[in-house]
Amino acid sequence: MAKQRDRPLPPIVPGIAVFETIDALQPQAAAIVAGEAQAADGDRVVEQLQILVGTGRARLTNTGIPGLEAVVPEPGEETQKKEREGFEEGHGGQYTRRMDELPNTHPYTALTPDRVLDALEAAGLEPDGRLLALNSYENRVYQVGMAEGPPLIAKFYRPGRWADAAILEEHAFLAELAAAEIPVVPPQEFGDSTTLAHHGGFRLAVFPRRGGRAPELGDPATREWMGRFLGRIHAIGRLHPFAARPVLDIASFGEEPRDWLLRHQAVPPDLLAAWQGTIDMALDGVRHAWARAGAVETLRLHGDCHLGNVLWTDDGPHFVDFDDSRMGPAVQDLWMLLSGERMEMQVQLQDVVAGYEDFCDFDRRELHLVEALRTLRLIHYAAWIARRWDDPAFPAAFPWFGTAHYWQARILELKEQIAAMQEPPLIA
C-alpha cells in the first residue's frame, strides 16, 4: 500500500469547529460575507453575523481571502474588553487566542493520514487508503477502509495519558465482558496476538465497526433493558479490581482539577474569588454526600456511560468506548442515564434499577452520591478542557472556553449543585 501513495495525503483537521463554514450557518450569512469581499468593513460583518447566528467562530470561506476567520463576539463583550485584555496580558491569553495563533507542537499534529496508514500497515493490516476521522477529542479515531473485508475502527491513544498496562487492562476487561456474551466491542488482535500496537510514538488498537442509534430513554422498557446490561457489566466488574487504572474519588475528580486550574491561572482574576469560594463549598457538599453514603463498594466501571457511548439496535444496546473505565461506585454508570426534573429522574431510576437488580445487587446508599458525582464531573470537565488546550481540536471545539461568560456559568452551575446536594436522595 505504501508504494501506491506517491503523493502525501492532505492533513486531517482534528475536532469540529462550532461553525465549519459560513454556508453551514444561514443563507443570509454567505451573502453578508460576499458583500464584504475585501473585508474592508470587518466590524459590520461581525455585527450582522452575530444577529444571524449568535456567537462563536466562523471560517469566512467565501471572502476570497484564504484562511480568514471571524470570531463572533459574545453579547456584551465590548463592555468587558478592558478586563479581558488585562486578563490576557497577565495570563498569556492561553485560552482565548485564535486557533492559528497557538503553537503547532501537539503530538497529534504529526498524525497525518500517511502516518495513520503506515501505522496500520506496520501492525500487519492492509488498509486501502480510505480514512474517515470520527468525532473524538480525547483520542484520535478513524474509520479505515480495508483491502479485504469491512472497514475497521482505528483508535490512536492520546500520548502520555495512560500507561500501556492501563490500556491493556481496558482491553482485558472488554474481553472478559465479551466472553460473558455482554454486548461490548473488544479490540481485535494483531498478528502477534496482542491488542496494542506501537508505531512512530503512537499506540493504537483496532476494533470492528458497529452501528446503531442512541437509545430512546423515554421508553420504560428501554430503561429497564439498559439496567439489565449494566447489571451484567457490573457483575463481572466486581469480580476483581483494576491494578493499573485509577479510582473515581473526590481527590482525583474534584480537588486535583481545582488545584490545577488555580495553579495555571485559568480563571479570570475578577471572578477568581467567587469561583474559588463556590467550588470549595461544592467540594464540601461532595464530602458530606460521601459521608452520608458511607463505605460503598467500588468496582470496575464503564466510567463514562452517557448516551453517546451506547449504540442501540433492534437487538438492544451495545456499549462502546471504555477509555475512561476505572474503579468507582456502581451508581456512576447509572446516573448519567437520568435527566429532567426530580420526579422524572425518580421514575427513570426505578426502571433502570429494576433491570439492574435482575443481575446485580444495588446498594441504595449510593443514591446519596448522584448529585455529588455530577458535581465532580462538572469540575473535572472544566479542567479537562484547560489541560488539552494545546491540542488543536480543543480551541476549535470549545471557542467559548476561558471567557468571563464561561466562568460565570460555571459558578452558577456549581451553586445549583450545592443546593441539589442538600436535597434528599432519589428513591429506588
Class of residue 135 by CB neighbours under 10 A (exposed 0-12, middle 13-18, buried 19+): exposed
Residue 391 designated active-site = no
In 3D space, the residue among 184, 406, 426, 222 whose CA is nearest the CA of residue 301 turns out to be 184
Sequence-distant contacts of 113-117: CB under 8 A, at least 24 apart: 113/9, 113/10, 113/11, 113/12, 114/5, 114/8, 114/9, 115/200, 115/202, 116/12, 116/142, 116/144, 116/154, 116/156, 117/1, 117/2, 117/5, 117/144
Contact 407, 267 (CB under 8 A): yes
Q: Which of 249, 304, 323, 391 is catalytic?
A: 304
Residue 334, all three cell numbers: 447509572
H helix runs in 294-357, sequence order: 332-335, 342-356
In eight-state DSSP terms, residue 9 is P
**28-to-25, 59, 63, 375 alpha-carbon distances in Å:** 8, 15, 14, 41
The one-character DSSP state at 247 is B
Q: Are 238 and 299 in contact (CB under 8 A)?
A: yes
Neighbours of 4 (CB within 10 A): 7
Taken in order 85, 90, 91, 97, the sign of the CA dihedral is: positive
C-alpha count within 13 angstroms, C-beta hemisphere, residue 395:
20
Catalytic one of 23, 43, 270, 321: 321
Report the alpha-carbon angle 205-108-169, nearest 5.
30
Please report the sign of the dihedral spanned by the C-alpha atoms of residue 8, residue 10, residue 12, residue 13. positive
* Residue 280 annotated among the catalytic residues of the structure: no
135: nearest Cα among 382, 403, 396: 396
Residues 6+ apart with CB under 8 A from 38: none
Which residues participate in catalysis according to the annotation?
304, 321
